[in-house]
Amino acid sequence: MTSRKDILALFNNQKPEATPLFSGLISVTETGLKSEGLHFHETHHDAVKMARAAASTYRVSGFGSAVVPLDMYVEAEALGATVDFMEGSERAEYPRVAGFLYESVDDFTAEIAEHAARPGHRAREKDKDNSALFAVSAVQKGRIPIVCEAIKLLKEDVREEIVIGGYIPGPFTLLSLLVETGALYMSLRKSKEQVHAALEYLAQVLASVGKAYHEAGADFLTVHEMGGSPGALGPKLFESIVLPHLQTLFSELPRPGVLSACGRTNGAMKLLAASGADALSVDQTNDLARSREEVPDTLLFGNLDPVGLLSQGTPDEITEAVKSVVRSGADAIWPGCDLYLQTPLENLRALVEAYKKS
C-alpha cells in the first residue's frame, strides 16, 4: 500500500522514497462493490454506502486513495439538472445527465441574474459578489451534503491508512452538462461575454463545494476539466475562455489541488500549470516524458490507460506501464481517468504489486 504519509509529503514538496500510487479521480469497481454487498446506483444517495464504496478498492487491492463523489454530476444536479442513475442496468454504470437544463448560455446567465435580484439576496457593489452569494447557497442543495458526510465517514474509517480526495468538475465541464452542446459551442464564437459570466458563476459554485469537501476532511481536491481542456477545445480557446476561471477557482480552493485534463495536452502543459493547481494529472494520450520536459517544476501525475491497460491488459503489461510512468518522471502513478467499473481484481492487484516493485 502507498503510504499516506508519503502522499501528503509529496504535496508538501518533499520527495518520497517511492513514486506513490493513488488517484484523485473516481476509483470504484464492480469487484469492490460486490465485496461490500453494494449496488452502484444506491451508493450515490447514501453517505454510508458512498463511503464504503469509495474505500472498497483499497480494501480489496491496497490502492492508495478513496475519492468521492462517485459521479461528476453532483453540482449539475444541485443546480437543477436531472440525473439518470442507471438503476435498471444489469451491471454497474456511471450515471449521466438525462437532459440539458438550458437551450443556450444566455438562458443560463439570465437565470443567474434573476436569482441574484430576488428579495432576500443582499445587493452588492460588484456583480461577482452577487454571483458568489448565490453560489454559496448551492452547496446546501442536492447531494452535496451527502458527499460531505461520506468524507467524514471516510475520515473516521481509513484516514490513517490512505488519502481521501474530493472530486469536482471544472467550470467549463460543468457548463457543458447544463447547456445544450451545439448552443454552447456556438457561444464560444458569438457570445463570449456570456460564456465568461457563466463560467465566473460556476467557478464560485465549485469553490464553495470544494471548501465544503475540505472542511469535511478531504486531504486534497481534484478538478476534472474534461470538456474544457486544451485537448478538447484547443490551446487558444482554453487560454482565452477556460484558463481565467480555473485560475479563479484554484485561487479560492483549499490546498492542495490537482488539475486533471483530458485529451492530448502536450504543447499546452505550461497553460495547465498556469491554472495555479499544485499538481497536474494527464491522461494516456500524452507523451508523459515530454509532459515532464514541458513542466519540469510542477508535480505531474499520470497516466495509465484505465480501459486498454488497467481493465483489458495483462499483469505483465501493467508492470511495464508502471515502470514507464516512473521512468518518464511522474511524481505519482495515476490512472489517466476514472477507473473502468469492470476492471478485474487481478489487474488492480497487479497494479499495486507493480508499484511496490517500482
Domains and CATH numbers, the chain: 4-357 (3.20.20.210)
Indicate the average pLDDT of the chain: 92
Q: What is the pLDDT of residue 118?
A: 60
Task: Enter the C-alpha cell of residue 322.
Answer: 508502471
d(CA 211, CA 138): 13
Q: What is the pLDDT of residue 18?
A: 86
Tens digits of residue pLDDT in 343-356: 999 999 999 999 98
Q: What is the pLDDT of residue 259?
A: 98
Q: Find the range with the poorest average confidence among 108-117, 255-264, 306-315, 326-335.
A: 108-117
> DSSP characters for 250-315?
HHHSPSPEEEEE-S--TT-HHHHHTT--SEEEE-TTS-HHHHHHH-TTSEEEEEE-TTTTTTTS-H
Percentage of residues in the chain having pLDDT higher than 90: 86
Reported confidence tier of residue 114, pLDDT bands at 50, 70, 90: confident
| Beta carbons within 10 angstroms of residue 156's beta carbon | 11
Contact yes or no for 223/170 (Cβ under 8 A) = yes
Cα-Cα-Cα-Cα torsion 202, 206, 211, 213, nearest 10 degrees, comes to 150
Q: Which SS3 state, helix, strand or coil, does residue 224 take?
A: strand
Q: Kindly report the three-state secondary structure assignment for every residue of 41-53.
A: HHHHCCHHHHHHH
Residue 169 has pLDDT above 90, yes or no: yes
Residue 224 has phi, psi (to 5 degrees) of -100, 95
Contact yes or no for 346/319 (Cβ under 8 A) = no
Q: What is the pLDDT of residue 90?
A: 86
Reported confidence tier of residue 124, pLDDT bands at 50, 70, 90: very low
Q: What is the largest CA-CA distance in the chain?
A: 63
Cα–Cα distances in angstroms (integers) from residue 153 to residues 51, 53, 68, 158, 217, in the given order: 6, 12, 11, 9, 9
Whole-prediction pTM: 0.93
Residue 133 has pLDDT above 60, yes or no: no
Q: What is the pLDDT of residue 3?
A: 80
Residue 134 has pLDDT above 60, yes or no: no
Strands 96-97 and 279-282: unpaired
Which has more pLDDT, 39 or 111? 39
Helical axes 105-117 vs 127-138, angle rounded to 10°: 90
Q: What is the pLDDT of residue 53?
A: 98
Tens digits of residue pLDDT in 289-339: 999 999 999 999 999 999 999 999 999 999 999 999 999 999 999 999 999
**Average pLDDT for 48-53:** 98
**Average pLDDT for 237-253:** 98
Q: What is the pLDDT of residue 125?
A: 37
